Amino acid sequence: APRSTTYEIVNSLLEAEILENVGTEGYVYFGRAMHLFGWAYSHHNAHYRRIIETLDKMAAETGETVQLCGLRGNKYIVLDCRDSSGPFRISSDVGVEVPIPWTASGRLLLGHMSEEEVKDFIPPGDYKLPDGRVIAPAEFFSDIALARQQGFSETAALADRFTWCMAAPIRD
């Protein structure tokens, strides 16, 4: 778009508080209105209220970190989270995109796909873990099949060597 059009759009979004100025470099980020839209969504969407109640209950009962996860494009993302009440908290921040093979949830989230669809969906570099180890695609496909069969997924020492993760789908 022409620069003048971009400035016009950004200025309109600033006036509506959908964006706000950040710092002195002319950067913009989500503004107060976006916060209010998100708050309204989380407080008035019946399904989301049930999700929040469930996250709170699971975290209280287990004392562990509980996350609601989903897909954004071909990445895993934490949509909401309740941290562990214990001294150790291992989690991803809400909104951070993570390669799907790094996660227990990813094995469930791809359970509806064929092996060929998964091959096309996952970028080759996403099989490389933060410590340099590489997950063999065949092992990942096998994990997806097992998760599909079991109805849940477990992983140990993937993205962090001190973590054990369990993922279970929301069915109703």
Nearest-angstrom CA–CA distance, 22 and 156? 39
Contact 118, 144 (CB under 8 A): yes
Residue 144 is predicted with a pLDDT of 95
Contact 76, 69 (CB under 8 A): yes
**Strand arrangement, sheet containing 97-99:** 66-72, 75-82, 97-99
Find tokens 């359970």 and name the residue. 111
pLDDT confidence bin for 88, thresholds 50/70/90? low
Contact 167, 103 (CB under 8 A): yes
Contact 55, 65 (CB under 8 A): no
Contact 92, 79 (CB under 8 A): no
More confident residue, 93 or 91: 93
Q: What percent of the chain has pLDDT over 90?
A: 42
Residue 165 is predicted with a pLDDT of 83
* Lowest mean pLDDT, pick from 97-101, 150-154, 167-171: 167-171
Residue 159 is predicted with a pLDDT of 76
Please state the pTM of the whole predicted model: 0.72
Nearest-angstrom CA–CA distance, 96 and 123? 17
